[in-house]
Structure 1
Amino acid sequence: MPKNAVPLYIVLVLSLLDQISAQGDSDKADIVVAFHASSSTSREDFQSLLTFVKGLVSRVDFDEGRARLGVLAYGENPHVQFHLHEYRTWTDVYNAISNINDNVRSNIVDTSGALIESLIMFDYQYTRTDVSKAVFLITDAASTINDNYLSDLTLVMQNENIEVFPIGIGIWDKSELETIATSPKNVYTVSQYSKLQTLTNILRQDVQSLKPRETGYDLVVILDSSVSQEYFDWMTTFTKHLADTICIDDGEFKVGLLRYSTDSNVQFNLKDYQSSGNVRKAVDNVRYQGGITNTAQAIDTARTQMFRPDQGDRDYARNFILLITGQNKSLSTSDAWRAAERAEKDGIQLYVIGLNINDSVELDETSSHPLTTYQYLTKSKRELELVPPQIYADLLRMSKNPPSMRQRPTIPTVRVLSTRYPVKYRTSVTLECVVDSYPPHTKVTWYRVTNGDRTEMEKVTDYCGSTVNVPSLTINRADFYDNGNYVCTAENVAGVGSSEETRVIVSGACGLTKVDIVIILESSASVNDSNFQKMKNFCKDFLKNADLDSGNIQIGIVSYSTGVHIEFQMNDYSTSQDIMEAIDAIPYRNGSKNTADGLRIMRSQMFTAANGDRDGVPNVVLILTDGWSNISSQRTFSEAEQARAKGINIYSIGIGLRDTRELNDMASEPASENSFNIQDFDEFAAVSDQVFQAVCLGKL
């Protein structure tokens, strides 16, 4: 090294310490000077270095404890000459410096080792949280070993609020210096030792800007009061023990408390008590209140109502929730996990303590990770009493910056790709289902839905798919029993997700055999023209599933109000197009409700050989009405009875009926399968396939 190097070190660092001394009694600093002494460094230069260190400490008031100094020499290995707390008087420090031996010189440069040792020096026994910290690392050479650890060590320094100032002498490639520095502005280089003095004024400004970053821990304890009184007493005892363990009196910790079961109740806020004794007294006033385990609401209440500046939350402090529960599951596992995600997104980490928990799935994902740090599962009051010191130690070891939010499991999102799946009789159809799930789903199930009730689909020959890898369901050789609504569900650890309903519509089966059908339409005043058009649309929708063009199915229609009008007979039209056009041409005729004569004309004038009725072919009637008959109503039942006695199968459809007795009396037995009541005329589309299915199944 050049002979003038050490004196310039002295000029440099003394300028820094002048600023520390000038900051006033309220400002304190801990500084580590790390230097590399190569094997070529002469003993004279080494003694000059010791002189520099003595000059350095001569400007510091050790007796007042405002500033402390540690000295570290490094080469292949770091060698601590003395720690920050080791000497507290000028005389002791001076003698310690004088005793430093020159056997620390080395041509190997392990800067990573120097930074690690500096961290240890700051953390050794008597670390101070209320002072600024800095490492001045002076080197004329880049690392020769372990340089791959430097970037990680810089992150650690930043998390620990330690400023690192690398000073390079004669180093043209600044990449390593920039990696070491905790801020880009902290990097300094000079071309030779004689130029170091040019940095003096700049570094004075850096030292002036060094301020201790305030640290602290804001902790909200959440007690589950849906447990037994005994368990709740365990929790309050634990909380008092915790208050005695952590440092509340010196302001490092602030504690708030929330009790919850069905509802969440803030017992005291972070700002309310500044001593462990007062916290203990406040906990003694917390009373047990049973109820439902609404964990999600409790976490959200703590996040939104307690971690607030006006309630004592400090912007520089780390925020933690400590949730204590004795329940395996809360009101909603998924909601609890979403609340935990929201808390972590706001920078709040969650400790979870479980008392005698048998199933920890919910708690595993409610707590922050790793579980070895953030979760404690205890089996007794004694085990619970051992937890506070462990949590306190964990907190002190934590990084100053919280990790990012960790996604919790979510209930699978399940979608069917169509709301309707038409299929020809005895052919196949695939009900397409897509599942999005985190974590991956473990089960897929299809259900048939009947009147709101779900029946699980059996995995037999005619049904395949419905697996984790193939969630879609394929129906082979579909028949009319497959008509209806279906839903697809998928399950993971978060719960079961369900698709919307999709409908399978089987057509063509009635075309395989012959049937004669008459539709009776009510055209009374209560129906009105608009709703009568909806009735006609129902007729066309109903018949779209029938194979009309084969001649196997014949259709006739009669309408009634005060009078009865045969719109067309069963043998009038033989093609689906002609039948649909004939339905469109049916006029609305206002009047009363002469249901009895509508049934009579159907039986006596339409189911006749002359008008198309065929021997040996089933006779089917559909009657559509929106209310009780008001002309000869006493005859309605007898007319229906006569028609049924003639072998005519009657299916009745009511619209908006509160009293369905007449509707059921007209229908063939059993009325529960052959009578349908919808709420209004707009629901015809929903019942069309259902009626067609009933007709076909009833005659086959």
Structure 2
Amino acid sequence: LKKEIRLLLRILIINPEFIAKCPPGCQDVKYHVYGTDIYASFSSVCSAAIHSGIIDNTGGKILVQKVASHSGYRGSFSNGVRSLSLPRWRESFLVAGNVGKHQVHSQAAQRTFSVFVCLTSDCKVDLSFLIDGSWSIGKRRFQIQKQFLSNVVEALDVGSAGPLMGIIQYGNNPSTEFNLKTYTNSKDIRNAIEKIPQKGGLSNVGRALSFVNKNFFLDANGNRGGAPNVVVVMVDGWPTDKVEEASRLARESGINIFFVTIEGAAENEKQNVIETDFVDKAVCRTNGFYSINVPSWFSLHKAVQPLVKRVCDTNRLVCSKTCLNSADIGFVIDGSSSVGTDNFRTVLQFVANISKEFEISDTDTRIGAVQYTYEQRLEFGFDKYSSKQDVLSAIKRISYWSGGTSTGAAISYASEQLFNKSKPNKRKIMIVITDGRSYDDVRVPAMTAHQNGVIAYSIGIAWAAQDELEAIATDPDKEHSFFVDEFDNLYQFVNQLIQNICTEFNSQPRN
């Protein structure tokens, strides 16, 4: 709410009227409204529009017009929204519908602002902005850049429980304006931004990225460890040095690199560009998510919300994802009669030894387990436990079932009960552990799992059938299937299994 209030106040102060695009599903008591017909300026724009009957909870476009301060705002209940009373406030607004029918004359009103009142304030990232201080940018555009940063800070709602932010200015050489621990609220950062002088020089972005990688995200500078590291590079035109090697090293350190490029090279300037595809060489993925191109400095304000939304989408910050913190891992455990009680405890220890190597939480790797005989039982799902200790305790509590061996049905069950509930952007890893030949077909269930994006590993013990282990395993079989003659030797495969999971993760294409 604080984020929307501050962003809204700034928009209202700058723009006498504008069009707001309200997303669906924002009728919520958390977003307060003050007044009836005329609303205090720190009211939720979209909730006010619902209250006045202009839109419903499915959202839509509205026209917002700034009006003078009001001596009193009357509260009322209308269209499912309770508005509150207020004695006075320094600024007000009106909302109107049927935007297409309005004669909108002012330039400000012709812009459409997406009012993301439903964005979560849970945006815990450690963020560094590399701002362009080169002489080519000029004094006026340097000021526009600082205003953009100030708007981003307001939209982010900087704080110790959410995003923290530092700024590095680059020219010939980079220098830190302030680091992550210098300021812990938006107001102080905005004041600091206003005082930043332009340093001049060239646009040595590669040198700046090397500086960030070596110097910025240190514990001594306020790096929190559990928060993803994000760098946003502002570039006027193009870099005057190479970025590829410095970017690669930064990405491999887990730094998520975003580029905001403004006014790229004209045709007659392209021969001056050292690396024509410098953005794709630098960013974490070349799919467009990590790069925003702005054709003119005077439209830079439009990039505020898209950029904030992306840097706060922690599930998609792939450079901070490693093989140990980015998977949903489901164990499919044979509990048939041939295993026996003592050997079953050995299997559970093997499962625990694998699990404890991963970083386990709601947002990192999650663990689930299924035990099977002729039947199947969900021991616990991915959303059940969110700490390593709780997962290890749950594994220890699994009780031996005893019965037949229907591995194919168990794979189908795990696909339905575990992996159908996996989070988007999570790697889905199934580890099947069995000591004998299945009574049913494993090929079709395994093939279906593979087609649904599940990476399957098979662990065979004693009487397990090699052909079935290979059918269960994702190709190439040799890297995804293991066999050991005795239960007591299972421990030998822990390190190899982790290594294979990580090798496969690191070989993923960057796009």
Q: TM-score, normalised by structure 2?
A: 0.50
Considering fraction of residues, name the structure with more strand.
1
Q: TM-score, normalised by structure 1?
A: 0.38
Larger of the two Rg values belongs to structure: 1
Structure of higher RCO (CA pairs closer than 8 Å, 6+ residues apart)? 2
